[in-house]
Amino acid sequence: MEQDRSARPSSLPGWLAYLETLHPKPIAMGLERVATVAARLDIRLACPVVTVAGTNGKGSTCAMLEAIYRHAGYRTGLYTSPHLLRFNERVRIGGEPVGDEALVAAFDVVETARQRAPGVSLTYFEFTTLAGLVMFRQAIPDVLILEVGLGGRLDAVNVVDADVAVVTTVDVDHVEYLGPTREDIAREKAGIMRAGRIAVCGEPDPPESLLAHARSTGATLWRIGGEYRYEAQALQWRYQGPGGARYGLPQPALRGDYQIANAATALAVIDALRERLPVSAGAVRDGLVHVELAGRFQVLPGRPTIILDVAHNPHAARALAGVLGSMGYFPRSLAVFGMLADKDIDGVIAAMRARIDLWYVATLPGPRGATAGELARRLRGAGVADTAVRSFDSIAQAFVAARAEAQEADRIAAFGSFLTVAAVLDAARTRG
């Protein structure tokens, strides 16, 4: 029986709170539930769809694709997760987050379809993914870019058949859902590939399970270092791919040498869709120069230097440590550090320990948040002196303390989780 519409939430905060109650688990892998409701919604997308999976580099690759296609004059749709400050960040149309009213209307459409599928409960992510697809169907973009939330094969975005499937990198993370090895994880991520369509892989030597899945599926696999490649030069770089060569490319506006590999993967996607969505050399250059992505080695204006990075696994932490090492001299580096308890805390500490002089650790909210005491214990176990660790009840408190102690020539690096970066961003804006 369909719920009385007057009993439904009328505001975005009300809907988001309601969605938390629909399923007993925050994460429940599987496509059956979301596919059942999607069928009732009859979502048909006429535009090319790019689905992006990967342990790290997903957000950067999506942002570059959006920026390049927008500078080429195309109307883009982009779905990402999680958000930093506002839920609206997850659904972007034409480069702009959608408004509360559009989200509320889409949630209402999804809820009506869900209630017409007896016994079907959706997780928060499944429900919001369907709402995003409803909005994209209405907006009629020229290209739609979907970022996988977790894994790939059983992720809600995989209810849509990708014209181009992307796996940026494969490393060990989310082992409780994806398996304990790179082979297991690559197999899950490869599940977004489709027969007869192009799959792009940003790993030069991916696990055999990914290669085997591409073969068995009948997808055409393009690998970095193989079917497409790049060469970094002093102030620019060049790309060579199935669509030809692009020379004199500017460094992406996103910091870090590793971003060139992400940019090359984005250009491989553009090659894959070049007949349907041609892109000029000028649009590529403009997109790379103007791309923005909050929380990925984001440097806030002013002194001391404040760096925000959502690095929450060893692979991402090693990349962050490398960029920190290339920044030049700072008398001291202070860390504002918070992580979820189910992440590889020891691996992140090991990657960052040599770059940090003082650690300001804080408890993250929610049942998954590691406590400041646990982080301090892990730091001691890694050989960090007690005198170099300060503990706080919240990230905001840790950031205020770090900023008060830092000298103008020092730097503060906030990392470990999206929650950590979001809290620091909010605290920094409040403080001004």
Specify the CATH architecture of the domain 5-290. 3-Layer(aba) Sandwich (3.40)
pLDDT tens digit sequence for 70-81: 999 999 999 999
Domain 298-431 has what CATH class? Answer: alpha beta
In degrees and rounded to multiples of 5, residue 253 shows phi and psi of -65, -20
pLDDT band at 175 (very low <50, low <70, confident <90, very high): confident
Mean of pLDDT values over 327-331: 92
Q: What is the per-residue pLDDT for 257? A: 82
* Cα R_g (the chain), whole angstroms: 22
Q: Of 191, 143, 193, 203, give the one whose Cα is nearest residue 165.
A: 193
In degrees and rounded to multiples of 5, residue 389 shows phi and psi of -125, 130
What is the rounded distance in angstroms from the CA atom of residue 432 to the CA atom of residue 430? 5
pLDDT tens digit sequence for 242-281: 999 999 999 999 988 889 999 999 999 999 999 999 999 9
In degrees and rounded to multiples of 5, residue 2 shows phi and psi of -75, 140
* pTM beyond cutoff 0.85: yes
pLDDT band at 220 (very low <50, low <70, confident <90, very high): very high
pLDDT band at 98 (very low <50, low <70, confident <90, very high): very high
What is the rounded distance in angstroms from the CA atom of residue 88 to the CA atom of residue 171? 29
Q: What is the per-residue pLDDT for 1? A: 45
Mean of pLDDT values over 43-66: 95
Q: What is the per-residue pLDDT for 431? A: 62
Q: What is the per-residue pLDDT for 309? A: 95
Q: Which tokens is 414 given?
A: 């906030």
Q: Domain map of the chain by residue range?
A: 5-290, 298-431
